Amino acid sequence: MNRIILNETSYHGAGAVKAITAELSARGLKRPVVFSDPDLVKFGVTKKVTALLEKAKVQYTLFCDIKPNPTIQNVKNGVKAFKAAKADSIIAIGGGSSMDTAKAVGIIAANPKFADVRSLEGVAPTKNPSKPILAVPTTAGTAAEVTINYVITDVEKKRKFVCVDPHDIPVVAFVDPDMMSSMPKSLTAFTGMDALTHAIEGFITKAACPMTDMLHLEAIRLISHSLRDAVANKPSGREGMALGQYIAGMGFSNVGLGIDHAMAHGLSALYDMPHGKACAILLPVAMKFNAPKTGDKYRKIAVAMGVRNAEKLPLAAARKAAIAAVEKLAADVGIPSDLKGVLKKEDVRFLAESAYADACRPGNPRDVDVKAIEKLYRSLI
């Protein structure tokens, strides 16, 4: 049996965000708190949404105490801000950081017994749906606007923890490529490769099913054909990435991920490395490790990425072609090929143990232990 959970409503395409005030009105929501990170506020991206709220005379408050890798304290501060505003909803504007913070706050506001934040790790037994979240992504990568997952950093323990909760999914998503047009090249590349990692890991995970396979293959096709143009800030590339990352989210949110994400979480927590960058560097390594347990799926990945004659290649060659296509795309958009100068040898054991304990690891198609994860990290030094 497979369970599929998606938004109640989603809007797609240029100008989609203009529907936000109508959705607030239709749902009887009158006092939202806008969650957005400081840079988006500084550079006027958040204003594209708050101007619509002001025009419609919607009373809102702004919360921007959000870090790139949101912390337990960010969440606790967000809960205080939500209560102080006597809010009835959240509008999350940004990438995974804004939306993950909003999800945790929305869940705690509706389920106060989880106020310590750490108790949300894994599949927490929350009883009430989150306070309504309306999500406006400004990056094409995390797909947090359509997933039941969020990730919080525990600064004290130097680790990230994954929370999986059907109650946290935003009720409405506004996937508007115009909101993504101000992303710098590096962020576009990192988040885009994160989306590709979602699609590939979701496609090969142990829980994959025919419905999510369909979604992931289309996401791989869209992302691999759109990311280079998105980095060049071409409208067609932005549009393709906005849709591709969302479709990937529709899939992986319901079947899980694997060791790439399990290993990437530790790199972000320990070195404050952008999550998408970590995922991108690890992707070829994880694919090589997992290849023996993926059947014919790498051939399908190669076909989706446009590899010529991939259908006719021997299985081993098709697998190598899929990995080579990923490596080429990563190189074309400026992703480093290793972790030299970042990963410290003395941290490898800690990172491997953290990755093994991560909620994403059990979904990996090939069983793995701490020693094997250590070896994967060391291969990148």
Instruction: Check pLDDT > 90 for residue 68.
Output: no
- Calpha distance 101→153 (Å, rounded): 10
Burial degree of 371 (CB within 10 A; 0-12, 13-18, 19+)? exposed
Q: What is the pLDDT of residue 27?
A: 97
Instruction: Check pLDDT > 90 for residue 182.
Output: no
- Mean pLDDT computed over 203-222: 98
Average predicted confidence (pLDDT) for the chain: 96
Asked if 297 and 350 sit in the same domain, the reply is yes
Q: Residue 241 corresponds to which tokens in the numbers above?
A: 């990435």
The CATH number linked to 29 is 3.40.50.1970
Asked if 113 and 215 sit in the same domain, the reply is no
- Calpha distance 284→35 (Å, rounded): 34
Asked if 64 and 200 sit in the same domain, the reply is no
Instruction: Check pLDDT > 90 for residue 2.
Output: no
Report yes or no on 2 lying in a domain: no
Asked if 86 and 193 sit in the same domain, the reply is no
Write phi, then psi, for 45 (nearest 5 degrees).
-70, -45
Q: How many CB atoms lie within 10 A of CB 12?
A: 14
What amino acid occupies position 116? Answer: D
Asked if 40 and 128 sit in the same domain, the reply is yes
E strand or H helix that includes residue 93:
strand 89-94
Q: What is the pLDDT of residue 65?
A: 94
Q: What is the pLDDT of residue 1?
A: 81
Asked if 143 and 213 sit in the same domain, the reply is no
Report yes or no on 324 lying in a domain: yes
- Mean pLDDT computed over 105-133: 97
Per the structure, the complete domain to which residue 341 belongs is given by: 185-378
Asked if 60 and 140 sit in the same domain, the reply is yes
Is residue 144 within 8 A of residue 153, CB to CB? The reply is no
Number of domains in the chain: 2
Q: 92, 112, 110: which is closest to 100 by C-alpha?
A: 92
Residue with tokens 């809102």: 60
- Mean pLDDT computed over 283-298: 98
Report yes or no on 1 lying in a domain: no
Residue that terminates a domain, selected from 115, 149, 180: 180
- Mean pLDDT computed over 54-76: 95
- Mean pLDDT computed over 49-60: 97
Report yes or no on 3 lying in a domain: no
Asked if 273 and 130 sit in the same domain, the reply is no
Q: What is the pLDDT of residue 359?
A: 92
Asked if 251 and 323 sit in the same domain, the reply is yes
Report yes or no on 4 lying in a domain: no
Residue that terminates a domain, selected from 115, 145, 180: 180
Report yes or no on 306 lying in a domain: yes
Asked if 92 and 204 sit in the same domain, the reply is no
Q: What is the pLDDT of residue 290?
A: 98
Report yes or no on 271 lying in a domain: yes
% residues pLDDT > 90 (the chain): 97
- Mean pLDDT computed over 284-305: 98
Q: Running DSSP on this structure, what letter comes out for residue 112?
A: G
Report yes or no on 164 lying in a domain: yes
Residue that terminates a domain, selected from 165, 180, 195: 180
Asked if 225 and 301 sit in the same domain, the reply is yes
Asked if 339 and 359 sit in the same domain, the reply is yes
The CATH number linked to 231 is 1.20.1090.10
- Mean pLDDT computed over 224-235: 97
% residues pLDDT > 70 (the chain): 100
- Calpha distance 197→209 (Å, rounded): 17
